[in-house]
Amino acid sequence: MARLLEVEDLQTYFFTDEGTVRAVDGVSWGIDEGETLALVGESGCGKSVTAMSILRLIPNPPGRIVGGSITFDGLDLLNVSDAEMRAIRGNRIAMIFQEPMTSLNPVLTIGQQIREAVQLHLGMNDEESTQKAIELLTMVGIPEAEQRIQDYPHQFSGGMRQRVMIAMALSCDPKLLIADEPTTALDVTIQAQILEIMANLSSELGTAVLVITHNLGVVARYADRVNVMYAGQIVESGSAVDIFKNPQHAYTRGLMASVPRLDDTEHTRLATIEGQPPLLVQEINGCAFRPRCTKVSGCNCSTTKENNPKLVEIEPGHWVADCPCCMTVN
Amino acid sequence: MTTQSATTQGQSEAKTGETLLSVRGMKMYFPVTSGLFVQRKVADVRAVDGISFDVKKGETLGLVGESGCGKSTTGRAILQLHRPTEGSVNFDGTELTELKGAGLRRFRRRMQMIFQDPFSSLNPRMSVAQIISEPLAIHGLYKGAERRDRLDYILNAVGLNPTYARRYPHEFSGGQRQRIGIGRALAVEPDFIVCDEPVSALDVSIQAQVVNLLEDLQSQFDLTYLFIAHDLSVVKHISDRIAVMYLGHIVELAEADELYLNPTHAYTRALLSAIPIPDPIVERERERIILEGDVPSPLNPPKGCVFRTRCTKKDQCKCSDTVPVLEEVEPGHWVANCPCCMTK
């Protein structure tokens, strides 16, 4: 498969009164055409900022992409003009947001909101775009789409609104779909409906999906590959099976062990990762996981910026940050 | 729901103790009014529509269901924060629905609550010491110097450094704030705590810390929990027994493992299958029951079996307009006896 998106050494910083927040601090990864990649991590680890950086939606000030490059389909996204970027957003790269309640415009009908995108990007007229809107709503499983395009967002339930968001995102047949916590605000049975629709449509249309989530169950079910983020950096990257069956970084292992599983038959105490993620206003020297590492007392990893852990390939396609303490020894 | 009797409800081997709380036929309706000057009642939101269950001393009863199914309302109605429209709530031999004023307040010392949102459930203008001491002042416990000792003891018990007592909520992370909320509930030495989604707002690694803390405190202080959450994997982990709610009704109640291994109501089966297991090999082989549509409005719930609009067998459904009652299919395993929704 050809590389669709290549992110290299991306650094997105926020310059605040408290200091510089290194929200994303040198991440490199790529996504192939038609692939589903998951970005996993806890709140504040930089997963959403990574996604917003791809679409160049970082509010400036205070935020700025200070380094690195993002190449999408041969195009250097950090150096195209604003007009070119607008032509890409919602067209070749589309996004689904977490909050289906707040990401739709309450004073426009659902039909108007879907038609806006297809009229703008595909140059359709009113009649064609209405037809397209009905087609899209039917595709995501909204009954009586002909009538429902005249309804306003408040007339839809949370799950239905998220379907509308998916319909809008897929309206221009994007190459890449970014889904930022697409089901976090939804109930589990609705979550299952939405994820199933997303998975089916993306495989039908051959869309690559970048899914951002903290739900490891969702990752296990849908992702081909996984990037685990911690404190603005990627600490482990590999196929879903590698990450779940053979996690190598101490953080990944901690994360896996702290989630109770439905199929656990005996009651064991949950493993925890003591402490909190670091504050990103301080520059992280050496391994970011160091303060929470269980081996910290006997830890002899370097604490200088020059020796920040780098991703090393320990088996084909499975990369781990090479902190000697955090990596499993075997 | 009269087929349920207190003596035959599910009992785990370790928790065969006496019943602490017994809820019978509890209904909680919220009136919908209309009219500018004269408020006329036009309808009822049937948040909880006749539920019965027991909670035994020292056990954790999990209450799961999707948003709007009435699980939080159930927790609040038990504590009499909402006055139930109908039914009885019996706490350790006392009928709570008949109590008011000082009498009720005395019982509130024994029944506390932990809230979901660690950000909005703590007063930003009160220090940790004030937050945890307030319930002690209200109930006149631990006066003078003893109160400071009690505060230190509580902070230690919930894993916070006692030197933090003079700090304010904004100085803490989400997990630490949830510990403050737990400390506040614990301060008055309650017997029973309603935990309303206590870990839903937290990150997974923090969630595990709080779940472990709740388990430790339970064995340390002999607490009884009603654990309300929508995340069935967390509920199954912490609970001895689980009640599944749908649209104001309990559709299934069983021991945690029994419910997972042998789900009998169609809704329970769909709910279990919808929760992904964090294991790509297991998960991709799992069969998934996708429910169609949304939960109906509690303003106008379906007649008879409330699940009928989403039931996979609804086309050949022969259930009548009578409301299903809980029936014991195995010892301690109760299921709403709708003929279409039950697997035989």
In this complex, the residue of A216, A241, A267 whose CB is nearest that of residue B278 is A216
> pLDDT tens digits, residue range B38-62?
888 888 889 999 999 999 999 999 9
Q: Which residue has the higher pLDDT, A149 or A184?
A: A149
Q: Does A258 touch chain B (CB under 8 A)?
A: yes
* Contact status of B282 with chain A (Cβ, < 8 Å): yes
Length of chain B in residues, anyone? 344
Give A10's pLDDT tier (boundaries 50, 70, 90).
very high
State residue A306's pLDDT score.
67
Report chain A residues whose CB lies below 8 A from the CB of B292: 193
Contact assessment for residue B302 and residue B267, using Cβ atoms and an 8 Å cutoff: no
Count Cβ neighbours within 10 Å for each residue of A8-36 and write b for 16 or more, e otherwise: eebbbbbeeeeebbbbbbbbbbebeebbb
Residue B203 to residue A255, Cβ atoms within 8 A: no
Q: What is the pTM of this model?
A: 0.86
pLDDT at A50: 93
Query: Which H/E stretch holds residue A145?
Result: helix A145-148
> What is the average per-residue pLDDT within B66-70?
86
Q: Pick from B22, B25, B103, B15: which is nearest to B59 by CA?
A: B15
- Give me the residues paired with residue A318 across strands: A315
Separation CA B305–CA B324 (nearest Å): 6
Q: Looking at chain A, which residue has its C-alpha nearest residue B270?
A: A189
Residues of chain A contacting B203 with CB distance shorter than 8 Å:
42-43, 214
Q: How large is the average pLDDT for residues A227-238? A: 92
Q: Which of B232, B217, B213, B219 is nearest to B187 (CA)?
A: B217
Q: How far is B143 from chain A (nearest CA, A)?
A: 34
The answer, for A266 touching chain B at a CB cutoff of 8 Å, is no
> A272, A292, A293: best mutation site toward chain B, by most B Cβ within 10 Å?
A272
* pLDDT higher than threshold 80 for residue A21: yes
Question: With contacts defined as CB-CB under 8 Å, which chain A residues touch B295?
Answer: 187
Q: How confident is the model at residue B9 (pLDDT cuts 50, 70, 90)?
A: very low
User: For A200-215, what is the mean pLDDT?
Assistant: 89
The closest of B179, B294, B210 to B247, measured between CA atoms, is: B294
Angle of the A126-139 helix axis to the A110-122 helix axis, nearest 10? 120
- Compute and round to an integer the Cα radius of gyration of chain B: 21
Q: Give the residue, A236 or A295, on which the prediction is more confident.
A: A236
Q: Which helix (H) or strand (E) holds A136?
A: helix A126-139
Question: Higher pLDDT residue, B67 or B131?
Answer: B131
- Gap between the Cα atoms of B133 and B33, Å rounded: 39
pLDDT above 70 covers what percent of chain A? 95
Beta bridge partners of B150: none
Scanning A161-190 for CB atoms below 8 A from B yields 187-190
pLDDT value at residue A4: 93
Share of chain B residues as helix, strand and coil, in percent rounded to the nearest 5? 35, 25, 40
Q: Tell me, what's the ipTM?
A: 0.81
For residue A296, name the pLDDT band (cuts at 50, 70, 90). Answer: low
Helix, strand, coil percentages, rounded to 5, for chain A: 35, 25, 40
Residue B288 contacts A where some CB pair is shorter than 8 Å: yes
Interface of A with B in 214-253 (CB under 8 A): 214-221, 223, 240-241, 244-245
A64 phi and psi, to 5 degrees? -160, 140
The pLDDT of B5-26, averaged and rounded, is 64
Q: What integer pLDDT is reported at residue A329 of this predicted model?
A: 56
Q: Quick one: pLDDT band at residue B5, thresholds 50, 70, 90?
A: very low
More confident residue, A295 or B211: B211
A36 three-class SS = strand
For A6, left (φ over 0), alpha (ψ -120 to 50), or beta? beta
Residue A273 has pLDDT above 50, yes or no: yes
Chain A residues in contact with B283 by the CB 8 A cut-off are 217, 220-221
A278 vs B contacts (CB less than 8 Å): none
Strand order in the sheet with B94-95: B40-56, B19-34, B86-91, B94-95
Cα gap A93→A75, rounded to integer Å: 12
Tell me if B4 sits within 8 A of B64, measured CB to CB: no
Contact B171/A at CB under 8 A: no
Confidence label for A305 from pLDDT (cuts 50, 70 and 90): low
Note whether A259 contacts B: Cβ–Cβ < 8 A. yes
DSSP bridge partners of A146: none
**Alpha carbon separation from B259 to A189, A269, B194, B251 (Å, rounded):** 17, 20, 21, 12
How high is the pLDDT of residue B6? 37
Please compute the mean of the pLDDT values over residues B150-173 and round it to a whole number: 91
B106-143 pLDDT, tens digit per residue, is 999 999 999 988 888 999 999 999 999 999 999 999 98
If you average pLDDT over every residue of chain A, what do you get? 87
Query: Which of A28, A34, A128 minimizes the C-alpha distance to A70?
Result: A28
Nearest Cα of chain A lies from the Cα of B150 at a distance, in angstroms, of 25
Task: Report the percent of chain B where pLDDT is more than 90.
Answer: 56
pLDDT at B52: 94
When CB atoms are compared, the residue of A196, A263, A270 closest to B208 is A270
What pLDDT does B4 receive? 43
Count CB atoms within 10 A of the CB of residue A311: 19
A157: confidence class by pLDDT, cuts 50, 70, 90:
confident
Q: What per-residue confidence (pLDDT) applies to B11?
A: 38
Site from A148, A161, A189, A196 to mutate, B interface, most B CB atoms within 10 angstroms? A189
For A286, A304, B192, the CA distances from A307, given in Å and listed in that order, are 6, 5, 52
Residues B68-78, mean pLDDT to the nearest whole number? 92
Which of B67, B69, B177, B203 would you mutate first to test chain A, the one with the most A CBs within 10 A? B203
pLDDT above 90 for A307 = no
- Facing residue for B230 by CB, picked from A187, A217, A265: A187
Cβ pairs A/B, distance under 8 A: 126
Contact B275 A217 (CB under 8 A): yes
Per the listing, tokens 């426009």 go with: A108
Q: What is the mean pLDDT of residues A239-262?
A: 90
φ/ψ of residue A75, rounded to 5: -105, 135
- Lowest pLDDT segment from A83-92, A187-196, B182-191, B332-341: A187-196
Tell me how far apart the alpha carbons of residues B330 and B254 are, in angstroms, rounded to a whole number.
9
Mean pLDDT confidence for B327-337:
91
Query: Of A174, A178, A175, A171, nearest to A112 (Cα)?
Result: A171
Q: Predicted confidence band at A300 (pLDDT cuts at 50, 70, 90)?
A: low
Span B279-304, average pLDDT: 84
Q: What is the pLDDT of residues A73-111, one digit of tens each?
A: 989 999 999 999 999 998 899 998 877 778 889 999 999
As a whole number of angstroms, the distance between CA B74 and CA B21 comes to 13
Residue A269 near chain B (CB below 8 Å): yes
| Residue of A161, A228, A263, A265 to mutate for B, most B C-beta atoms under 10 A | A263
Which residues are bridge partners to A94 per DSSP? A177
